[in-house]
Amino acid sequence: MLIEREVYLEGKQYLVTISDEQKALRSAYAEGRAVIGLWDRNKEGQSLEPAEYLIEDIAQADEQLLERVVRRRFHLPWIIAETKHLIIREFVPEDAGQIPGDEVSGEDDQVFLEEESLRVYCSRYRFYEYGIWAIVEKESGLLVGKAGLSLFSSEDSQWVKERTKKEDIPLELGYHIFSLYRRRGYGREACEAILTYGSQHISNKIYARIRKDNRASLKLAEALGFRLIPPECSGLEPQLYLGVWCC
């Protein structure tokens, strides 16, 4: 079986080949097309390389999947969410240097300051399909912050460890709106969209670590629906609250 689909992104046409035959997938990929493998669980030894995405039913190849397969194939950032004022998307190497240097607070932020290190970070999206994303102001097109989801180790909190099942993917929400763009509601707007995305695609339970003296973040966490666990109960460092959000 071989099916061809068209995807239009920013006025440009892309072709996607869907097939259950490796030869057809390889040929389409060599011609510069995006490909999706049609997998049959009852067929032994089926190989659908070079397809990175597999479906069992053609109905699964909806517009969102087709667009995302095209974006992966041609190294275009996934659009995670679009809100009233913001576009939340994956970082691209060209974003390097747009984060104000005086707002870098730790080693983890350093990767966003240089193009090569950011390129390496962006390669992780392909495997995990989540991470820290760019927050772009729609009106100006400027990078106004970053936010996203990262893996939260249950070993960091006794409270989480006791409640984490083997199959769980404990995620941690993090965000940083650059000082020039604060007090516009962007933090809440971005986090609400990310929580919705995370619960729909990855995990229905998301955590946050918040300093006791960061009243603004504690207030935001409560507004977002997080339940706050004090340090003496969560097992975190004495100065950190644990926020727990469930959809």
Sequential DSSP letters for 146-166: EEEEEEPPGGG-HHHHHH--T
pTM, two decimals, is 0.89
What's the distance, CA 85 to chain centroid? 19
Summarize pLDDT for 48-58 with one digit per residue, the tens: 999 999 999 99
- Contact yes or no for 233/159 (Cβ under 8 A): yes
- Dist CA 120 CA 109 (whole Å): 13
Strand partners, 4: 17
Amino acid at residue number 3: I
Summarize pLDDT for 121-180 with one digit per residue, the tens: 999 999 999 999 999 999 999 999 999 999 998 888 888 888 888 778 889 999 999 999
Enumerate domains of the chain plus CATH numbers. 2-73 (no CATH), 79-246 (3.40.630.30)
Reading the block at residue 146, the tokens are 């970053």
- Dist CA 63 CA 7 (whole Å): 8
Edge-to-edge strand order for the sheet containing 54-55?
2-9, 12-19, 34-38, 54-55
> What is the pLDDT tens value at each position of the chain, 247 positions in all?
899 999 999 899 999 999 999 999 999 999 999 999 999 998 888 999 999 999 999 999 999 999 999 999 999 999 999 999 999 999 999 998 888 767 766 666 788 888 999 999 999 999 999 999 999 999 999 999 999 999 998 888 888 888 888 778 889 999 999 999 999 999 999 999 999 999 999 998 999 999 999 999 999 999 999 999 999 998 899 899 999 999 7
* DSSP at 31: T
- Residue 156: the pLDDT is 85
